[in-house]
Amino acid sequence: MTNDPSRLVLVASNRGPVSFAFAEDGSLTASRGGGGMVSGVMSGLAAIACDVEVLWLCTALSDADREAARRGDRVVEPGDAPVRMLDIPSDMFSAAYNGIANSVLWFVHHLLFDTPNQPRFGPEFRRDWSCYMAYNAAFADALAQECTAGTRVLIQDYHLALAPRLLRERRPSARIAHFEHTPWAPPDYYRLLPDDIAVAILDGMLGADHAGFLAGRWAAAFLDCCEAVLGARVTRGAGGAGQVRYRGRTTEVGVHPLGVDGTALRARGRQPDVSMHADALAAMAHGRQLIVRVDRTELSKNIVRGLAAYRELLLTRPGWRGRVLHLAFAYPSRSELAEYREYTARVHELATGINAEFATPDWEPLVLDVKDDYARSLAACRIADVLLVNPLRDGMNLVAEEGPILSERGCALVLSREAGAAALIGDEALLINPYDVTATAEALHAALSMPAAERRRRAAMIAATASGRAPARWLTEQLDALG
């Protein structure tokens, strides 16, 4: 470990940069962790590696991870930060992760509740909440052990909303930042939470010196909640940023949009495995225009309405039949939750229905694939004519930035105005209301009809804007905010 504590940066997140599996002989094999938060933090850390020393604390998510955690090694992949996995008891983890983080906080911030029926906060919720508190306390204990004067601590996401305050209690002089990768709910929706929980989450985050968000809208909603729920003194600055004064401390609230390292992504997109997939997908398209989407099968991603819009396009604009192919990559996600299993089934049903309704002997209108294959996703973005990104609400949505960067011919982007990315790159996209299926179908038509030169111009503008906000800048801004 470093002799200069001010060089040390601790990162804390639920999912970490590495995950383990048991090989047939019982040994442990390591692979990279997935998701937008992990790739953003990893890429940012790699770019500033000479200026800092890093230790990343994350949860052991599987039995193989727990075994690695028990062996106590600080796992290091070549060139990566050392990782300390916390061996949280699996029941406690499941209640905190599935019961609170994914079923309550994720639903609140993405406005996903079917409110006539859900949520219902009763004894089960209270049991899960006590596990969520214990899970956050386990992180605060581990961070406090690693922290010395001058150490900077970057705590990630809604899983760890209480950790900043708990760490502050253990290490009053720690320099703490919290970053939220989701949207933030407006006060009226946030107040669906039981009153004491609504207070505890905001109070937990305000243990940090700096609270970061991906878009001005989410930061502004957080400030509104601090004022409405806590009665905190809020000062509003430009673009959604501001300050919250609460319990004798000030927390700066910052807006840090996350972009993409365009050079690195393009280099990855030119690798042989990606080119092989690109050739195979192009052969499948057979000269037809390609509409591509790449998502986790996540309720907020709005895949069902995306498919409905494609169906409406084929119904109302029959001229596109036989001339377009929709590649929908929808990778499995959170299958422990019944809502996600039901949603996945609906996606499959709709996709089968579209093919049954419109396919001809020499044309299948839709290919839905659920196998998570990173190289193939990059390949699809490389050759896409149109990229469909229509979430109901999304912290940022990096695919909207990655697609135009990878695109060879220049793709037209149909983008939900409710994605955080819309604030950054929306000027060059065809923006849609994600609930409006007819408007989405019309945007797909406009995108397919857009002249090639205009697509190229827009994609180049998006690529330049996204590359200008590369993860190194995103991370450096947060570290600088800690002084």
Binding of residue 393 to ligand F6P (CB under 6 A): no
| 236-245 long-range contacts, CB within 8 A, separation 24+ | 240/213, 240/215, 240/216, 241/216, 244/206, 244/211
The 37-66 contact track toward ligand F6P, x by CB under 6 A, reads x-----------------------------
Binding of residue 181 to ligand F6P (CB under 6 A): yes
Under 8 Å between Cβ of 20 and 64: yes
Closest C-alpha to 175, from 237, 105, 251: 251
The dihedral built from the CA positions of residue 420, 308, 373 and 20, taken in this order, carries a sign that is positive
Report in angstroms how near the CB of residue 10 gets to ligand F6P at its nearest: 18
Judged by CB under 6 A, the residue of 10, 11, 15, 328 near ligand F6P is 15
Quickly list H helices, 251-337.
262-269, 272-285, 303-316
Cβ proximity to ligand F6P, 158 vs 189, nearer residue: 158
Question: Of the ranges 29-37, 81-89, 306-314, 403-411, which one interacts with ligand F6P (CB under 6 A)?
Answer: 29-37
Binding of residue 36 to ligand F6P (CB under 6 A): yes
Question: Of the ranges 32-40, 204-212, 248-256, 405-413, which one interacts with ligand F6P (CB under 6 A)?
Answer: 32-40
Binding of residue 300 to ligand F6P (CB under 6 A): no
Binding of residue 455 to ligand F6P (CB under 6 A): no
Under 8 Å between Cβ of 113 and 107: yes
Question: Of the ranges 35-43, 162-170, 308-316, 339-347, which one interacts with ligand F6P (CB under 6 A)?
Answer: 35-43
Under 8 Å between Cβ of 378 and 269: yes
Report in angstroms how near the CB of residue 395 gets to ligand F6P at its nearest: 5
Cβ proximity to ligand F6P, 15 vs 217, nearer residue: 15
Cβ proximity to ligand F6P, 157 vs 418, nearer residue: 157
Under 8 Å between Cβ of 172 and 209: no
Binding of residue 395 to ligand F6P (CB under 6 A): yes
Q: Which amino acid, one-letter code, is at 44?
A: G
| CB-based closest residue to ligand F6P | 37
Report in angstroms how near the CB of residue 155 gets to ligand F6P at its nearest: 12
Cβ proximity to ligand F6P, 151 vs 300, nearer residue: 300
Residues 406-425 touching ligand F6P, rule: CB under 6 A, are: none
DSSP string, 362-397: TB--EEEE-S--HHHHHHHHHH-SEEEE--SSBS--
Tokens of 261: 């390292």
Judging by DSSP bridges, how do beta strands 8-12 and 152-156 pair with one another?
Answer: parallel
Query: How many residues interact with ligand F6P (rule CB under 6 A)?
Result: 8
* Residue 104: CB atoms within 10 Å: 24
Binding of residue 128 to ligand F6P (CB under 6 A): no
Cα separation of 64 and 81, whole Å? 20
Cβ proximity to ligand F6P, 37 vs 392, nearer residue: 37
Which chain residues interact with ligand F6P by CB under 6 A? 15, 35-37, 157, 181-182, 395
